[in-house]
Amino acid sequence: MKLRFLGQVYSTSNNQVETIPSGYTACFLGQSYTLRRPIQTFKSQLGTRKYRGVAYGSK
């Protein structure tokens, strides 16, 4: 899907995150469900962020 913001065209990316049950149960609007947490951390993606053509990241 192509998107546009202030004249800049960009496309979305669908990143799949693998999860496992965390052992906690939550209740929302009367429905109970098991919370899940990601298997891996995404620290490696922090250095690859771009906003309006400028790269940002942590050192």
Instruction: Find the domain containing 29 and state its range.
Output: 2-56
Closest residue by Cα to residue 5 from 55, 53, 59:
53
How many domains would you assign to the chain?
1
Length of the chain: 59
Q: Are 33 and 44 in contact (CB under 8 A)?
A: no
Tell me the pTM.
0.40
Burial 2-34 (b: 16+ CB within 10 A, else e): eeeeeeeeeeeeeeeeeeeeeeeeeeeeeeeee
Closest residue by Cα to residue 34 from 47, 56, 19, 44:
19
Return mean pLDDT, the chain. Answer: 79
pLDDT category, 30, cuts 50, 70, 90?
very high
